[in-house]
Structure formats: C-alpha cells, structure tokens
Amino acid sequence: MQRFLCAAIAALALAGCGGGSSVPASNAAITAASGQQVFRYDTFGDEAFWTNTLHMNQVVQTAVDPTTALSVGLKVDADALPPDVLAALQAGQIDLKSPATTVTLLKLNAVVGIQATVDAKNNITSFGVSCALCHSTVDNRIAKGIGSRLDGWPNRDLNPGAIIALSPAVTAAQKAVYSSWGPGRYDPRFNEDGKNGPVLIPPAYGLAGVNLATYTGDGDVGYWNRYVAITQMHGMGNFSDPRLGIVVTAATDLVNPVVPALVSYELSLPKPPAPGGSYDAAAAARGQAVFNGAGRCLSCHSGTTFTDANVTLHQPSDTGMDPGWALRSATKEYRTTPLRALWQHPPYFHDGSAPTLAAVVDHYDTYLNLGLSAQQKGDLVQYLTSL
C-alpha cells in the first residue's frame, strides 16, 4: 500500500517520498527523488500477475533459500538490514540454506527488485517486481551479492528466465524457452510474438541527451518504461503501440502517472567512471585517434554520448549484426549504442556476441575491412575501456 501512496504522491505533488526531510532545490530534483522510489520499489500493481498467476510467493516460500536466490543473481540491499542482522550475516550466523531466511529478507524489504508482503505467520501473501530487479545491482561490500544499491547498473548476474521457470504455472514448452536464456539476458518480446531470442539487460545510466532508448530505438525512455512495466512486469496501466499491434488497457493506471518521475530519475543517473588504473592513459589517447580516424567509429558513435541515435538508426548490415532482434522491433533497425562505462558491462552488442572489447574491435576490423594493426587495436581497446 505504501508504495502505491508513494506513486500517487509522486504523480500528484512531485513530492519526495521515503522520509527525506530536507527542502529540495528544484522540481527536477524532487521528481528524480520520487522517481528513485518508483524505480526501486514500485510494482505498478504487478502482484496480480506474479502472485495470482505465477504463484511466485509459494515458490519462494518453500523452495528459495538465500543461497539459491543469490545463485540466480538476486541481490541483497545491505542498507535495508538492521545492524544486528548485518553483524550476524557478517559473522556467518545466518542460515543461508533456509527459505525462512529469504522470507525474513523480503520482510525487511532487502531483496533488490522484489516487493513482497509477509503476514504475521511469515507467509508471503503477495509478490511483485520493480525495475530495480534487472537494472540495479549492489557493490558487494558485505559479500558477493550483498551490499549497497547501484541503480542503473544492469544486473548481468540475474537469470530472469531461470526465475520465471520456477513457476508452476509455466508450460513445459515455455520452461524450455525461459531456461535457455542464461544470466544477464531477457527477451522482452517473447510473450508478445512467441519468438525466442533474448537480449542483454542494458545499463539504465548515461542516457541523458539520448532521445531514443533500447537497442532498436523504438521510442524514448518513457516509451520503453511504459512498455516494460505494462507488457513485461504486468503492471496495471494502458499501453498501445500500433507498430507492434499491442493494445493493453487497465481499469486503473498505476504506470503512466509515475513515468515522468521515473524518467527523470533514470536520466539523472550518470555513467560510472572507469576505475583508476583500469586502463593505460597514453594508449587510450592514441586509441582515441584511431576511434576518430582509421577505425571510423566516430561516424556513428558521435558527440558526447557517442551515438548518432538522435539523427538516425542503422540497418543490421551497416555493422554486421544479426538482424533477428531488429526484425522483431518496431523500427527494424539498430540504434548506435551510446558508449558508457563499457568496462562495467561485458559482453557487448545486443546479443552479447562480442565477449570482450577486443572482440568488438576485431568484429569491426573484419566486417568494415579497416585493416587496423595490432597496436591500433590494442590502443582502441584502451580508449573504449576509459569511456
């Protein structure tokens, strides 16, 4: 209930929600602050799907101990844990092999991207998901998978297919598809077009100034937020896209009113800078010259966001990409990916076909017949690592 209140307040008054008492400086700051609440905790009423249809509450109640939860990439928000729980966790005194511990973590609202209601008898009565499930991770400061939230960082450990496949409601055929995806991948069109070809969960940071979101540039960030909240998370709201033949209507709309705050939060998320010492600065400077010159990268990865997305999209054949995903989209083309914190999210390209930045460079060198020397390629990799 509280999060719906947050959402309602965000929509009506653009007031901060979540206990902050300071007077915010500007409307943009207030909107971003309430957008953070939406991003982290709002389910848009998707419990109806995750609880009543998928019965994830029952699955988690009986079968998902914290070790299992961490193994499918779920993250624990250490800042939501009381000091005594945190201390016990650090001392190894908490049973990570018991589903009851998962219930406790859910009760503390400490599982990133999962919103559950737990009754007095410790039964999970409702289960829902938020944007943070796929687009936040943690800094592992307590242990692997347990730490402070890093919003906007794609959770490449998360295995959404494996999680959905746990549901008793999915058919054997669906289960085979979900189980085929693997960590860091999700297919946000499978339930619409029945085709199977997951894409990498992208970063949600570093998008300020980029007018088209997603690998195929189907619309702006707000468009995609509505698409994913309503057609994938199964939040309550109205969404239609005649290009895709999708029309969803709901009696109550818990999505559209909060999208402006949500977008404002996303656009406020900066790309995380490359860690000190993670690249060779002199080589990166030489690599920049290759990027701008012999590599011809700048012809598409232009401007401060390293993309021409505000001007044009590209045919799959422009860069030698598998056309499959583009053909399932509204635009049938690929957006030049804005280059941001590449060091943070290998593998690369929409389908993860390049495991490393060296593989990215080799792909272009071969496909575009660039004839780069080994030195030029190495320097270019250093430059890409620095972005």
Rounded distance between C-alpha atoms, residue 316 and residue 307, angstroms: 16
CB-wise, 143 or 368, nearer to ligand HEC?
368
44: tokens are 């848009």
Considering only residues 211 through 270, tell me which ones interact with ligand HEC, judged by CB under 6 A. Answer: 213-216, 221, 224-225, 228-229, 233, 262, 266
Nearer to ligand HEC, 105 or 380 (CB): 380
State the minimum distance, in angstroms, from the CB of residue 367 to ligand HEC. 9
The 114-153 site mask, x for binding ligand HEC (CB under 6 A), equals ---------------x-x-xxx------------------
Instruction: Count interface residues toward ligand HEC (CB under 6 A).
Output: 49
| The dihedral sign for the CA sequence 355, 356, 359, 364 | positive
| Contact code string over 273-312 relative to ligand HEC, x by CB under 6 A | ----------------------xxx-xxx-----------
| Candidate list 89, 146, 201, 284; residue touching ligand HEC; CB under 6 A | 201
The Cα–Cα gap between 359 and 155 comes to 22
Q: Identify whether the C-beta of residue 32 lies closer than 8 Å to the C-beta of residue 63.
A: no
Whole-number minimum distance, CB 84 to ligand HEC, in Å?
32
The least CB distance from residue 115 to ligand HEC, in Å, is 12
Residues in the chain: 387
**CB closer to ligand HEC, 99 vs 349:** 349
Options 1-9, 13-21, 73-81, 195-203: segment touching ligand HEC (CB under 6 A): 195-203
Residue 234, Cβ neighbours under 10 Å: how many?
22
Buried b (16+ CB within 10 A) or exposed e, 21-44: eeebeeeeebbbbbbbbbbbbbbb
Burial readout 259-278 (b: 16 or more C-beta within 10 A, e: otherwise)? bbbbbbbbbbbebbebeeee
Count other Cβ atoms within 10 Å, centred on residue 217: 25
What residues numbered 149-188 form the site for ligand HEC, per CB under 6 A? 160, 186, 188
Query: What CA–CA distance (Å, rounded) separates 205 from 131?
Result: 13
Is 112 a residue that touches ligand HEC (CB under 6 A)? no
Range 352-371, binding ligand HEC (CB under 6 A) = 360-361, 364
Select from 321, 376, 377, 386 the one that contacts ligand HEC (CB under 6 A): 321
- Separation of alpha carbons 83 and 95, rounded Å: 17
Give the separation between CA 20 and CA 259, rounded to whole angstroms: 21
* 35 within 8 A of 10, measured Cβ to Cβ: yes
The site for ligand HEC (CB under 6 A) is made up of: 39, 129, 131, 133-135, 160, 186, 188, 199, 201-202, 204, 207, 213-216, 221, 224-225, 228-229, 233, 262, 266, 295-297, 299-301, 314, 318-319, 321, 334, 336-337, 339, 342, 348-350, 360-361, 364, 380, 384
